[in-house]
Amino acid sequence: MTSSPALNPAITNWNGPDGLPRFEAVNDGDFAASFEAALAEHETEIDAIANNSAAPTFENTIVALEIAGDSLSRVSSLFWNRAGAHTNDTIQALERDISPKMSRHYSKIGMNAALFQRIDQLWEKREALGLDLEQTRVLERHWKGFVKSGAKLPKPEQETLAGINEKLAGLSTQFGQNVLADEKGWALILSEGPELEGLPDFLKDAMASAARERGEDGKYAVTLSRSIIEPFLTFSERRDLREQAFKAWVARGENPGETDNRGLIRETLALRSEVAKLLGYGNFAEMKLDNTMAKTPAAVNDLLRAVWAKAVKRAREEEADIAGLIAEDGKNHDVMPWDWRFYSERIRAQKFNFSEAELKPYLQLEKIIDACFDVANRLFGIRAVEKKDITAYHPDVRVFEIRDAQNKLVALFLGDYFARGSKRSGAWMSAFQSQHKLPLKNSKTGEMPIIYNVCNFAKPAEGKPALLSLDDARTLFHEFGHALHGMLSDVTYPSVSGTAVSRDFVELPSQLYEHWLTVPAILKQYAVHVETGAPMPQALLDKVLAARTFNAGFNTVEFTSSAIVDMEFHTRGPIDDPMAVQAEILAGLGIPKSLVMRHASPHFQHIFAGGYSAGYYSYMWSEVLDADAFAAFEETGDAFDTAMAKKLKDYIYSVGGSLDPEDAYKAFRGKLPSPDAMLAKKGLAVTEELSGSDA
């Protein structure tokens, strides 16, 4: 008889500084045994709740569910952090194994008849239970979650649903790992001389650092990290190299062989369609939108199509400007996707008399981090204190204590800013621990949020400061907005804490926070030259602000085409050839051949390896909200108006899912928004058209 592997207590007993995990004490090989133990423990806890002989009460059923599975939450948060931000072969192998196991585990809970009977009894008599608003929302969340897990289905259909969900979990994991493999496995190695023509020093430094990581000292690497590939496409004079790099970038997940995601897309869409039908929905999009602000695919499509018409018209005008510049250069080629960033940067330099290269020395990573913290202090009265003596999960990761006006520790924040081969692309926020106030089995009451941001900025050469593009700086503010949503949470129950809100509301706090980056008082203080320390000249600042809507057609077409394809995929039934359908949708939209989707389907991780299936539209839905919300501050004449900031904290950042999103927004703003402010922000507004045929 073989003995079970010893459990590493550091995975579930977090006794590091300020209650952090002791990351250095956790080895990759420790996770498998810890998952097995935590899954078994959670199952025991669930059985105890389901089989309780006492009549169901909110306390012995719902509160008990809220605090069950603490060990599993801790194992999971550590593991999925490592899987996304610092993975390797061992972690990826376990990820492929554990994803379906976790799905199976939660399917079993969702189909526990005795447990659902208790929840259903509470739901039926909810009006007589004397629950407050937050408790009612928590009960509703559990009841609806069980129904969507198949609790009301006959046993055979429950088993079918569980099997499908298990398959989907495995497909999602494989999809993300394939994209990472394609990103990690490709680099264009360049040499000093003509191949670097047009590239600014900040980009050459980042490319040299990337080449050194690949054992190519003295060379320069174009990688598929957005912080390198985008500036390369913007500045490289070598059209042949731009084409080569662009085609590799858009081919992620579409390369023949082991990392080809096209078959996974077909299988995923078919299985999702089957799930929707099992649960009584017409299609997967209807199912996903059932508990959102948008509510129906028709409402989403109304917004997307109205914006599309304006965006594609603007993009055609931008394309004509680029074609004119190509002709001026004495060339006769069409405008292609690898030309757009290069020529639009030249047009911006002409129109606004500044370039991205001129702006970048004023956008130091350190200063933009400071700006993020300063805005949070001005709005919400919190401050960040860096703790350089605390070890995180990677040497590049920084740890900050978040303290309130009385110097009380209210949250921990970890910032992981630089790209590396062990990290998936993009940027995201997540939590090691979410805020709540419930008493726990370890005799503690409540937990403090431990939040982290992951970005993929190009790491500078040793001793040099990291410089950001304006888009990078916005990304930093965006993700910190998500972090604030987690750190400012002030609710009782874990299931409605922080970012546990509907998908089309979750982007409001993040996208809204981006607005404060370009508030003149913030730019003047933190946009200072990397060498001289001089603030950004007023003339340059004015140009930056004037250029905010430049390339609006390009940006909006890239995004909106992806959102429309997502909705189309999930409102149709099973699709035999998703790539043909993608091409058909784009042709029907009339997308210019010089433009592509921001995320072509084979690397569209938001919808095939993330939580945004039938939900990518939510960035634009939230953009309608965030433009209107920031207008509330502009109307006061003060971007940091105290009264508005208090309402923002009380009704948006701190309430999590304890309020209905519409009620929360109306409590903050007094009304629901129209798309007008969003279209104006994008520079696409023609207000009267909203009531016309495009609306």
Q: Look at residue 526 and tell me if it is in a domain.
A: yes
Residue 78 and residue 588: Cα distance in Å, rounded? Answer: 44
Of the pLDDT bands very low, low, confident and very high (cuts 50, 70, 90), residue 694 is: very low
Residue 233 and residue 224: Cα distance in Å, rounded? Answer: 11
Residue type at 108?
K
Q: Which of 479, 558, 568, 623 is catalytic?
A: 479
**Residue 596 Ramachandran class (φ > 0 left, ψ -120 to 50 alpha, else beta):** beta
Residues 78 and 210 in one domain: no
Range of the domain at 243: 186-250
pLDDT value for 687: 37
Of the pLDDT bands very low, low, confident and very high (cuts 50, 70, 90), residue 4 is: low
Total structural domains in the chain? 3
Q: Look at residue 220 and tell me if it is in a domain.
A: yes
Residue type at 209?
S
Residue 431 and residue 81: Cα distance in Å, rounded? Answer: 9
pLDDT value for 356: 84
The residue from 546, 564, 595 where one domain ends is 546
Residues 20 and 134 in one domain: yes
Cβ-based neighbour number of residue 36 at 10 Å: 16
415: β partners: 398, 453
Residue 680 has pLDDT above 80, yes or no: yes
Residues 116 and 231 in one domain: no
pLDDT value for 695: 24
For the chain, give the mean pLDDT: 95
What are 590-625's pLDDT values in tens digits?
999 999 999 999 999 999 998 899 999 999 999 999
Q: Look at residue 393 and tell me if it is in a domain.
A: yes
Query: pLDDT over 90 for what percent of the chain?
Result: 92
Residues 223 and 145 in one domain: no
Residues 465 and 526 in one domain: yes
Residue 457 and residue 465: Cα distance in Å, rounded? Answer: 12
Q: Look at residue 648 and tell me if it is in a domain.
A: no
Residues 148 and 209 in one domain: no
Residues 134 and 210 in one domain: no
Residue 686 has pLDDT above 80, yes or no: no
Residues 28 and 134 in one domain: yes
**Long-range contact set of residues 18-21: C-beta below 8 Å, sequence gap at least 24:** 18/387, 18/390, 18/401, 18/409, 18/412, 19/412, 19/433, 19/448, 19/450, 20/390, 20/399, 20/412, 20/432, 20/450, 21/74, 21/78, 21/432
CA gyration radius, the chain: 25
Residues 148 and 210 in one domain: no
Q: Look at residue 244 and tell me if it is in a domain.
A: yes
Polymer length of the chain: 695
What are 556-592's pLDDT values in tens digits?
999 999 999 999 999 998 999 999 999 999 999 999 9
Q: Look at residue 302 and tell me if it is in a domain.
A: no
pLDDT value for 293: 93
What are 425-460's pLDDT values in tens digits?
899 999 999 999 999 887 889 999 999 999 999 999
What are 24-83's pLDDT values in tens digits?
999 999 999 999 999 999 999 999 999 999 999 999 999 999 999 999 999 999 999 999
pLDDT value for 501: 96
The residue from 546, 580, 605 where one domain ends is 546
Which H/E stretch holds residue 432? strand 428-433
Residues 413 and 528 in one domain: yes
Residues 84 and 127 in one domain: yes
The residue from 546, 570, 596 where one domain ends is 546
Residue 304 and residue 306: Cα distance in Å, rounded? Answer: 6
Q: Look at residue 574 and tell me if it is in a domain.
A: no
What are 322-351's pLDDT values in tens digits?
999 999 999 999 999 999 999 999 999 999
Alpha helices by DSSP H, listed for 356-429, are: 356-359, 365-380
Residues 47 and 190 in one domain: no
Known catalytic residue: 479? Answer: yes
Residue type at 303?
L
Residue 91 has pLDDT above 60, yes or no: yes
Q: Look at residue 583 and tell me if it is in a domain.
A: no
